[in-house]
Amino acid sequence: MFTLFGGRTVGKGTYWNLNSGERIDVDGTVTLKGSRADRYVKIPVAGLCIAGPLAGLLFTVVIPFLFLFVMLALLPRTVHASGASLGDEAQVCLGCHATPGMTMTFTDKSTVSVHVDGSHFKNSVHRDLSCTNCHSDVSLDNHPAAKYASKQQFLLHLASACRTCHADEQVLANPLHQRAITRANAPPCSECHGSHAIRKVPTKQAKQNTTQYCLTCHKQQLSTTINGHTLSLTIDEGRLRGSVHKDHTCTDCHITFSRDEHPDRRFSSVREVSIAGSEACRRCHIDKADQHKGSIHFSLLAQGDQRAPVCSDCHGSHAVGKKGLADTLAGVPCKNCHQEIFSLYEGSVHGKARKDGKGTAPLCSNCHFAHDVKPTMASRSPKDMCLGCHAGIASAHKAWLPNTEAHFDAVACTACHVPEGIQRSVYLRVTDDSTGLMASDTVVRNLLRTGRTAINAVQGKHIDADEVWSLYKQLNSEHAVHMSGTVGLTSRRQAHQLAPKTVAVRTCEWCHSANAAFFQSVSMATAKPDGRESHIEVDKSAIGSLYAMIPLNQFYVLGGTRIAAMDYLGAAMILGGIAVPFAHGTLRLLTARYRRERKQQAARRGGTGR
Amino acid sequence: MKRIYLHAMPVRIWHWINAVSFFALIVTGAQIRYRDALSLMTFRTAVDVHNWFGFLLLGNFALWAVYYLLSGKLKVYLPDPNLKNFVLGAWKQAKYYGYGIFVGDPNPHHASPDSKFNPMQQVAYFNIMLLFMPLQIVTGILMWDIKRFAPVISFAGGIKTVDTVHVFLTLFFTAFLFVHVYLASLGHPWTQHLKAMFTGYEDEPESAH
């Protein structure tokens, strides 16, 4: 294309005759001499000075070297591919063992594939060995039937063959081997390295990132046993790659591990491994970890209840899902432990709304928080949570409910907004005036057992009316406290059965009657150290007792909490009021004759009767 | 036959509004308190009616207070400041009700516009109008909106105290009502005082006592 031929008319430039090497400088236009057999090229002198040596170098040095390199690289493959390098013995063995599906059955009926893919073996680092180098008990003359008890025994026997060449020093140099070999149930070499397709490990590992390195073993079926319980060490690579942490390497979380370090850690239970593992999450998710420290889950853990969930229980360990997953009915992790409550929730107005696709309907964490999981109370509903979504609900209640705020203070939202059959209770609670905290369960129970005054309620018995008074006095003697009453659900689980508002209680009599069902169940609510509520049964007559006059001065349900003594006093007063006219009137009737006679006598005397 | 103009028009209106209110408040109050035993009306109706009549009673009380204070007639409620005179007067009246009335003695007290009440009535109505009624009205208002008046209720010792005072006064008023009606029938003839409370005039037969 850059080559010109004789007879062509060309413009200004420097032309070279490739046949003779003659240089032709053209100023105007000129016709090149000769025919199509004479080839010319147009190159400036400076261009020739650079291109010339380069072309020369290419031809004389680089191309031959490249050729040599490719040849050297391809040569072994070419040679092996020919099959010529496999020993005669291997050729003979493969004559049978190349058949796919060949198996050997052991005494215990376990089987192993004895099919060998010739091409795998040809590419393995052991390609120069003959079969009997490893399978030393087998030869062309001696090919025994299965003499091993099990597949495991067979593989372990073969592993000892590896040790023939790979000395202990070489093997134990790898910390992974140190750990594996010292175990009683150490896996045979082939479990990690394969059998006939063994590649040169360092070359392979050098190309791997850390995760791949770890997965070399951990994608195998690995497990360990802690105190008789099995802990799987197998990582599902697919799920790991699908997790939100896919771009992290194993050692980002497992910080004490590396290619060179594989510490031998000791745990007393499988559960401890998960608990310790969750510490890794804290390194990045500090805020969430701090929130978790304020949760009921953490409190339980701190109290030694290892069932309490840690990060991995909700989020998974290696298959950590996207944040939004926990906000779905299918993915919410709470149900893993709280299945019964979740079923109740699913039947609730909120659960049904979720099922119907209303994404704004609350799930567990909307009321209970996600990490700072708060304990629920049977005596109260999380009113602020309810009002957080149902913002206009206070004024909606005001339209029909007198003293709405007083009701909101004393009645849990759940007490009215669950189906009718669910049992409600009255809860008495003592609150410290200065701290605003509920009385401690330990303190109250101690006072009930060992108080100075006549508190004789013990566990399993209820608190009598006079004991409510004594308890109040004693608590009040240390700090200023006040006692209040609330109406809530008997079981906090049932708070999850929130019903549509058409079902909600709207009849005043439902509560405002001494016959109201919840007055039959009275408890004192106290606070456990972890923030949960404890309930101690109170004699139901305490509500209407004179003893409750002072302690329960703030708990008042029209028609429901009347003091029984006032009924007797009232009856006496009204009967007295009726008795006065009756007694006085009767006396007047009985004395009427006397007055009549006196009047007649006076008339006879001619007086006026005065 | 003497004819005394005993009860001025405002007093008569006040009295009968009071009577109706008392009846309504006692009935609805009982319904509110004894829902488990009484079913005269729904709880909600009872509360609403109780509130209406409560405020009617409050307005009526204000009417009474304004009338008696402005007209200067409040003195009919005031017992004799001279303790000796008061005790002697009260003793005479008590002796009459406890003995004289049976043997045909005359009533030591003669009602007149300036002296409507005998010493015993003075003590009773003085307490009722200047102590019990205000207390009943105030406790009623406090319970009408317990959230709004929470600080006052708390100062008074709590809602249960306020309720107990309210109920106790109701019991007193109810018991007193029987005595009040009975005493009102002691005129000659027995309708004498009742008629006066409608017409304002009391016919006092010269010889009837």
Pick from A45, A35, A50, A36: nearest CA to A14: A45
In this predicted model, which residue has the larger pLDDT, B139 or A142?
Answer: B139
pLDDT of A71-89, one tens digit each? Answer: 777 765 554 444 445 677 7
Interface test mutation site (partner A, options B97, B120, B171, B174, max chain A beta carbons within 10 A) = B171
Positive or negative torsion for Cα A294, A296, A302, A308: negative
Residues A487, A586, single domain; the answer is no
- In this complex, the residue of A406, A508, A552 whose CB is nearest that of residue B160 is A552
Query: What's the gap in Å between the CA of B42 and the closest CA on chain A?
Result: 8
Query: What's the gap in Å between the CA of B206 and the closest CA on chain A?
Result: 9
Cα nearest neighbour of A576 on chain B: B175
- In this complex, the residue of B43, B179, B207 whose CB is nearest that of residue A509 is B43
Residues A474, A575, single domain; the answer is no
Residues A76, A111, single domain; the answer is no
Residues A103, A237, single domain; the answer is yes
Domain boundary pick from A81, A110, A138:
A81
A342 domain residue, yes or no: no
Query: What's the gap in Å between the CA of A347 and the closest CA on chain B?
Result: 32
Q: How many interchain CB pairs under 8 A, A with B?
A: 115
Pick from B188, B46, B18, B8: nearest CA to B110: B188
Residue A445 confidence (pLDDT): 84
Number of Cβ within 10 Å of residue A282's Cβ equals 14
pLDDT band at A492 (very low <50, low <70, confident <90, very high): confident
Residues A554, A494, single domain; the answer is yes
pLDDT band at A344 (very low <50, low <70, confident <90, very high): very high
A355 domain residue, yes or no: no
Q: Can you tell me the mean pLDDT for B13-40? A: 94
| Residue A555 backbone dihedrals phi, psi, to 5 degrees | -105, 115
Exposure of A63 in the CB half-sphere (CA atoms within 13 A): 7
Domain boundary pick from A53, A81, A109:
A81
Residues A247, A104, single domain; the answer is yes
Residues of B with CB under 8 A from a CB of A: 32-36, 42-44, 47, 97, 101-104, 106, 145-147, 157-161, 163-164, 167-168, 171-172, 174-179, 181-182, 206-207, 209
Least confident of A58-72, A274-288, A407-421, B40-54: A58-72
Residue A518 confidence (pLDDT): 84
Q: Can you tell me the mean pLDDT for B140-156? A: 92
Interface test mutation site (partner B, options A506, A540, A546, A573, max chain B beta carbons within 10 A) = A573
Cα nearest neighbour of A559 on chain B: B33
Tell me if chain B has a CB within 8 Å of the CB of A406: yes
In this predicted model, which residue has the larger pLDDT, B175 or A447?
Answer: B175
What residue spans define the domains of chain B? 2-118+173-204
Query: What's the gap in Å between the CA of B157 and the closest CA on chain A?
Result: 7
Instruction: With CB atoms and an 8 Å threshold, state whether A514 touches B177.
Output: no
- In this complex, the residue of A403, A549, A595 whose CB is nearest that of residue B160 is A549
Q: Can you tell me the mean pLDDT for A555-580? A: 91
Domain boundary pick from A65, A81, A97:
A81
Q: Where are the beta strands (DSSP E) in A75-183?
A: 103-105, 111-113
Q: Which residues are CB-neighbours of A113 under 8 A, at least 6 positions away? A: A101, A102, A103
Residues A437, A586, single domain; the answer is no
Residue A467 confidence (pLDDT): 83
In angstroms, the CA A283 to CA A270 distance is: 22
For residues A262 and A172, is the Cβ–Cβ distance under 8 A? no
Pick from A469, A445, A470: nearest CA to A458: A445
The strand pair at A30-31 and A23-26 is best described as: unpaired
- In this complex, the residue of A405, A508, A554 whose CB is nearest that of residue B44 is A508
Residues of A in contact with B105 (CB under 8 A): none
- Tell me: pLDDT of B114 over 50: yes
- Tell me: pLDDT of A503 over 80: yes
Query: What's the gap in Å between the CA of A337 and the closest CA on chain B?
Result: 41
pLDDT band at B208 (very low <50, low <70, confident <90, very high): very low
Cα nearest neighbour of B45 on chain A: A508
- In this complex, the residue of A409, A554, A566 whose CB is nearest that of residue B158 is A554
Residues A546, A504, single domain; the answer is yes
Least confident of A198-202, A426-430, B114-118, B136-140: A198-202
Residues A186, A282, single domain; the answer is yes
Structural domains counted in chain A: 4
In this predicted model, which residue has the larger pLDDT, A157 or B125?
Answer: B125
Number of Cβ within 10 Å of residue A523's Cβ equals 23
Residues of B in contact with A563 (CB under 8 A): 160, 164
DSSP H or E stretch at residue A567: helix A564-590
Least confident of A161-175, A327-341, A553-567, B14-28: A161-175
A481 domain residue, yes or no: yes
Q: In chain B, what is the straight-line distance between the N-terminal and C-terminal CA atoms, in Å?
A: 12
pLDDT band at A203 (very low <50, low <70, confident <90, very high): very low
DSSP-assigned beta bridge partners for residue A13: A26
pLDDT of A465-490, one tens digit each? Answer: 888 888 888 888 888 888 888 899 88
**Dihedral through CA A601, CA A602, CA A605, CA A607, nearest 10?**
-170
* Diameter over CA atoms, chain B: 60
Chain A, 269 to 288: residues with Cβ < 8 Å from chain B are: none
Tell me if chain B has a CB within 8 Å of the CB of A584: yes
Q: Can you tell me the mean pLDDT for B174-182? A: 94
Pick from B29, B58, B178: nearest CA to A583: B178
A365 domain residue, yes or no: no
Residues of A in contact with B97 (CB under 8 A): 584
- Tell me: pLDDT of B71 over 80: yes
Give SS3 for A393: helix
Least confident of A249-263, A442-456, B177-191: A442-456
Cα nearest neighbour of B156 on chain A: A553
Q: Can you tell me the mean pLDDT for A534-544? A: 87
pTM score of the predicted model: 0.69
Exposure of B61 in the CB half-sphere (CA atoms within 13 A): 19
Residue B20 CB-density burial (10 A; 0-12 exposed, 13-18 middle, 19+ buried): middle
For residues A379 and A427, is the Cβ–Cβ distance under 8 A? yes
With pLDDT > 70 as the criterion, what percentage of chain A qualifies?
91
Chain A, 5 to 44: residues with Cβ < 8 Å from chain B are: none
Instruction: With CB atoms and an 8 Å threshold, state whether A573 touches B175.
Output: yes
Q: Which residues are CB-neighbours of B158 under 8 A, at least 6 positions away? A: A550, A553, A554
Cα nearest neighbour of A560 on chain B: B33
Q: Is the ipTM of this complex over 0.85?
A: yes
Q: Residue holding tokens 């608590």?
A: A475
- Tell me: pLDDT of A206 over 60: no
Long-range contacts of A204-211 (CB under 8 A, 24+ apart): A205/A259, A209/A249, A210/A249, A210/A250, A210/A251, A210/A258, A210/A259, A211/A240, A211/A249, A211/A250
Exposure of A49 in the CB half-sphere (CA atoms within 13 A): 3
> If you write DSSP's letter for every residue of chain B in order, what string do you get?
-EEEE-S-HHHHHHHHHHHHHHHHHHHHHHHHHTTTT--SS-HHHHHHHHHHHHHHHHHHHHHHHHHHHHHTGGGGGSPPSSHHHHHHHHHHHHHIIIIIHHHTPPPS---BTTB-S-HHHHHHHHHIIIIIHHHHHHHHHHHHTTTTTHHHHHHTT-HHHHHHHHHHHHHHHHHHHHHHHHHHTTSSSTTHHHHHHHHSEEEE-TT--
Pick from A428, A440, A602: nearest CA to A525: A428
Structural domain span for residue A598: 566-604
Chain A, 129 to 188: residues with Cβ < 8 Å from chain B are: none
Q: Can you tell me the mean pLDDT for B76-91? A: 84
Cα nearest neighbour of B177 on chain A: A577
For residues B125 and B117, is the Cβ–Cβ distance under 8 A? yes
Residue B140 confidence (pLDDT): 96
In angstroms, the CA A202 to CA A562 distance is: 87
In angstroms, the CA A267 to CA A231 distance is: 11
Cα nearest neighbour of A512 on chain B: B35
In this predicted model, which residue has the larger pLDDT, A324 or A187?
Answer: A324
Interface test mutation site (partner A, options B101, B105, B120, B146, max chain A beta carbons within 10 A) = B146
For residues A38 and A5, is the Cβ–Cβ distance under 8 A? yes
A541 domain residue, yes or no: yes
pLDDT band at A133 (very low <50, low <70, confident <90, very high): confident
pLDDT band at A183 (very low <50, low <70, confident <90, very high): low
In this predicted model, which residue has the larger pLDDT, A339 or A323?
Answer: A339
Residues A31, A139, single domain; the answer is no
A395 domain residue, yes or no: yes
A609 domain residue, yes or no: no
- In this complex, the residue of B36, B172, B182 whose CB is nearest that of residue A584 is B182
Chain A, 505 to 544: residues with Cβ < 8 Å from chain B are: 508-509, 512-515
Residues A123, A164, single domain; the answer is yes
pLDDT band at B24 (very low <50, low <70, confident <90, very high): very high
Instruction: With CB atoms and an 8 Å threshold, state whether B167 touches A566.
Output: yes
Mean residue pLDDT across chain A: 83
Pick from A324, A310, A247: nearest CA to A281: A310
One-letter amino acid of B72: G
- In this complex, the residue of A405, A514, A553 whose CB is nearest that of residue B36 is A514
In angstroms, the CA A508 to CA A531 distance is: 33
Per mean pLDDT, which of A26-40, A94-108, A175-189, A333-347 is the most reliable? A333-347
A425 domain residue, yes or no: yes
- Tell me: pLDDT of A349 over 90: yes
- Tell me: pLDDT of A609 over 50: no
Residues A284, A402, single domain; the answer is no
